[in-house]
Amino acid sequence: GQQLNQSPQSMFIQEGEDVSMNCTSSSIFNTWLWYKQDPGEGPVLLIALYKAGELTSNGRLTAQFGTTRKDSFLNISASIPSDVGIYFCAGYHNTNAGKSTFGDGTTLTVKP
Amino acid sequence: DADVTQTPRNRITKTGKRIMLECSQTKGHDRMYWYRQDPGLGLRLIYYSFDVKDINKGEISDGYSVSRQAQAKFSLSLESAIPNQTALYFCATSDSWAYTQYFGPGTRLTVL
């Protein structure tokens, strides 16, 4: 089946620093999604990307749909303590029976 | 009120017991999913349902069963719980034409 490699697995940064994480796959996806899971809660959608090369921002977050359709990147600028959580990428392809494939997550810790 | 609710939020049980986790949604979505989250392993799909009469196995369905009682309700059962089923369980919903999933708050299950 389709698998996603998400890296890094964890990050420890100082408040104010920028963050970058990425997902790669051996398969092509039609849609890339980035979710954030706050401690004790379920994941919530941050950004959805629908086209190869697309660059989309949501506040301090910017995500890109790779031109090969096999990767995606998420950047967080000027991190703040509430950015703490687990970030998941997810890929969707219309041949996968309506299911998304999730990465293993990047755990972000921000030190004040 | 939350769009996707899960009950119970926490459960401790013993090996061999039958357990049911319940999920309800008010989003009017046709599609519902059950995931399991273990540290470092991301979200793994257990079962999914695209309508009341459609139930499908995910990647880790062994030891689990589900029931879609209505469009808004999707239950996950562990017929005979075992310790390696200790995990965080999430229910999610999505519209039939969209890829975004909406997650419940999760149920933390501990099997002793």
Nearest CA in chain A to B89: A42
Mutate to test the interface with A, among B29, B99, B102 (most CBs of A within 10 A): B99
pLDDT tens by residue, B37-58: 998 788 999 999 999 999 999 9
Residue A33 has pLDDT above 80, yes or no: yes
CB-CB contact of A3 with A69 (8 Å): no
Percent of chain A with pLDDT over 90: 83
Torsion over CA: A69, A5, B50, B26 (sign):
negative
What is the amino acid identity at position B69?
A: Q
The pLDDT value recorded for residue B99 is 80
pLDDT at B40: 77
Chain B from 13 to 72: CB within 8 A of any A CB: 31, 33, 40-45, 48, 50, 56, 58-59
C-alpha pair distances (Å), A43 with each of A52, A89, B14: 24, 11, 28
Token digits for A5? 């490699």
Tally of residues, chain A = 112
Do A48 and B100 lie within an 8 Å CB cutoff? yes
Residue A89: its pLDDT value, please? 96
CA-nearest residue of chain A to B101? A45
Chain A residues touching B93 at Cβ < 8 A: none
What is the distance between the alpha carbons of residues B112 and B5, in angstroms, rounded to a whole number?
Answer: 25
Please, which contacts does B15-20 make with residues 24 or more away whose CB atoms are closer than 8 Å?
Answer: B15/B81, B15/B82, B15/B83, B15/B111, B15/B112, B16/B80, B16/B81, B17/B80, B17/B81, B17/B111, B18/B77, B18/B78, B18/B79, B18/B80, B18/B81, B19/B77, B19/B78, B19/B81, B19/B109, B20/B75, B20/B76, B20/B77, B20/B78
> Beta strand pairing status for A10-14 and A106-111?
parallel
Chain A CB contacts of B39 under 8 Å are none
**CA–CA distance, A32 with B24 (Å, rounded to integer):** 27
> Which residues does A contribute to its contact with B (CB < 8 Å)?
1, 6, 9, 31, 33, 35, 40-45, 48, 88, 90, 92, 97-100, 102-105
Structure tokens at A34: 């980035």
